[in-house]
Amino acid sequence: MIQNERDSRHEQVLWAARQMMTAARTAPKAKGVDIVEVALVSDEELTALAQRMKELAVEQKRPSFERDGGNLLQAECVILIGTRELAMGLNCGHCGSATCGARAEGVPCAFNVMDVGIAIGSACAMAADLRVDTRVMYSAGLVAMQMGYLKGCHSVIAIPVSASSKNPFFDRQPK
């Protein structure tokens, strides 16, 4: 049997993305409390996300959303990593309030945001180990959050995943 890499690339990238999801899940979390959510977006949902980004680029005069939406269309899939809201009760002051109880509504607990960052780092490290191309995108994460792709989550970040001859997420031309 002869199997050309081009014939199995999509499945291989999805497999790598699932490994990235596992890496994000097993990343350390504040106080050992797991409020991180991870999802894989592909096919029609990926196209819808890219289209909404392009619409917002025009509506909100955000040209980077047009560029990033185009990048999503070059990806095989996108990993979303976000967190549900939960104050960790450490009264650390990193959110800008002296205590967790004094934190203004809508201001995320800094540890929730850090948990997302650590999970992103773990997922991207796995991607590097597996030699798939990625880019961390706040823009796609924001739009995915607005579209309800990770229900109940905030601080959502997107990581498009690709395997091609050249990483499509770098050397991008600004709009």
Q: What is the pLDDT of residues 124-165, one digit of tens each?
A: 999 999 999 999 999 999 999 999 999 999 899 999 999 998
Task: Give the per-residue pLDDT at 172.
Answer: 65
In a domain, 171, yes or no: no
pLDDT at 173 over 80: no
Q: How far is residue 11's CA from residue 17's CA, in Å, rounded to a whole number?
A: 10
Residue length of the chain: 175
**Band of pLDDT at residue 166, cut at 50, 70 and 90:** confident
Structural domain of residue 127, as residue ranges?
5-162
Asked if residue 67 lies in contact with residue 172, where contact means CB atoms within 8 angstroms, the answer is: yes
Task: Provide mean pLDDT across the span 105-122.
Answer: 94
Task: Give the per-residue pLDDT at 171.
Answer: 74
**Band of pLDDT at residue 174, cut at 50, 70 and 90:** low
In a domain, 148, yes or no: yes
34-82 pLDDT per residue, tens: 999 999 999 999 999 999 999 999 999 999 999 999 999 999 999 999 9
Residue with tokens 């993305």: 17
Alpha-carbon radius of gyration of the chain = 17
Beta bridge partners of 80: 39, 158
In a domain, 137, yes or no: yes
In a domain, 22, yes or no: yes
User: What letter does residue 99 receive in the DSSP assignment?
Assistant: S
In a domain, 110, yes or no: yes
Higher local confidence (pLDDT), 172 or 97: 97
In a domain, 154, yes or no: yes
CATH of the domain at 112: 3.40.109.10
User: What letter does residue 104 receive in the DSSP assignment?
Assistant: P
**Total count of domains within the chain:** 1
H/E stretch holding 75 reads none
- Which pTM value belongs to this model? 0.92
In a domain, 150, yes or no: yes
In a domain, 168, yes or no: no
Determine how β-strand 133-134 pairs with β-strand 77-84: unpaired
Task: Give the per-residue pLDDT at 154.
Answer: 87
